[in-house]
Amino acid sequence: MSEAPSCVLLDLDNTLYEYDPAHTAGMDAVREYAEQQLRISAADFDDCFHAARAEIKQRLGPTGSSHHRLLYFQRTLEKAGLATQPMNALQMEQVYWSAFLSKATLFDEVLEFLDDLRIAGIPAIIVTDLTAQIQLRKLLYFNLNKYVDWMVTSEESGADKPAIGIFHLALAKIGGVEGKVWMIGDDPGKDIAGARDALGCTTLQKVHKLEKFTPDAAATPDAVFSRFGDLRSTLTDLL
């Protein structure tokens, strides 16, 4: 990379925070709710949930709503023989996301990196799969709204990454840019290949441990990093 970006696109989940521990906490909480409130065993819940999730994703395809936990839990209850159960489905969604967020923590120096962009006058846009409501909630929970002015979800754009529409919509929101656009994300196919194919972005892949990184031959990033502190140094050198 030889020049500073004119705009930075950022994935959210598993890029700005680690997804798996938060998801595990959410599922543990819902599993406990199902056992205590509905007398559904943990094993039966898991079987019904995995079948429900696969069914929803197959039916809806790669769209924002295909990630909707409310749909997963509604269908889980139906598969468990309890019909739609609106109150329990809604409560399970709340239980999941409350436990999820309580375990979710931003990676070190994420906010500082975003503040560096703000000070430099470089727009930052969150480009994320999933539905708008929970992703907006995450922005508020993490205080990202103080540093990021724009977000595009796959619910809004009509299709998950790597579909080109979500990337084009991101730039359209700020009226387009001249110069280099960075895409920062963890997924080789969705974030790296998707942004490169859509916009010719300079791509930076976030990995949790550099020593375990294996490049994807079809989606090799321009740079790889594990710490946002290192990314801050790179940006400073280019400004």
C-alpha neighbours within 13 Å on the C-beta side of residue 50: 5
pTM of the predicted model as reported, rounded to 2 decimal places: 0.93
Structure tokens given for 76:
């889980």
Statement: residue 212 has pLDDT above 70: no
Statement: residue 213 has pLDDT above 90: no
Q: How much of the chain exceeds pLDDT 90, in percent?
A: 91
Selecting among 13, 116, 129, 187, the annotated active-site residue is 13
Distances (CA, A) of 66 to 13, 54, 150: 16, 9, 23
Report how far residue 234's alpha carbon sits from residue 239's, in angstroms, rounded to the nearest whole number: 9
Positive/negative CA dihedral, 121, 127, 132, 138: negative
**How high is the pLDDT of residue 2?**
79
Domain positions in the chain are 7-18+105-238, 20-103
Q: What is the mean pLDDT of the chain?
A: 95
Judge whether 11 counts as a catalytic residue: yes
pLDDT category of residue 24 using cuts at 50, 70 and 90:
very high
> What does the pLDDT look like over 84-100, one tens digit per residue?
999 999 999 999 999 99
**How high is the pLDDT of residue 209?**
81
Lowest-pLDDT range of 5-14, 42-51, 202-211: 202-211
Find the helix packing angle between 86-103 and 69-79, rounded to 10°. Answer: 130
pLDDT category of residue 63 using cuts at 50, 70 and 90:
very high
Contact 123/114 with Cβ under 8 angstroms? no
Q: For the residues 152-164, what does the mean pLDDT come to?
A: 97
* Total number of residues shown for the chain: 239
- CATH for 7-18+105-238? 3.40.50.1000
* Interacting residues of 138 by C-beta distance below 8 A, sequence separation 6+: 12, 101, 104, 144
Statement: residue 216 has pLDDT above 90: no
Q: Cβ-count burial of 177 within 10 angstroms (0-12 exposed, 13-18 middle, 19+ buried)?
A: middle
Q: Residue written as tokens 């009226």?
A: 175
> What does the pLDDT look like over 107-140, one tens digit per residue?
999 999 999 999 999 999 999 999 999 999 999 9
Statement: residue 208 has pLDDT above 90: no
Statement: residue 211 has pLDDT above 70: no
Selecting among 11, 160, 186, 187, the annotated active-site residue is 11
Contact 79/56 with Cβ under 8 angstroms? no
Residue 209, helix vs strand vs coil: coil
Greater pLDDT, 1 or 91? 91
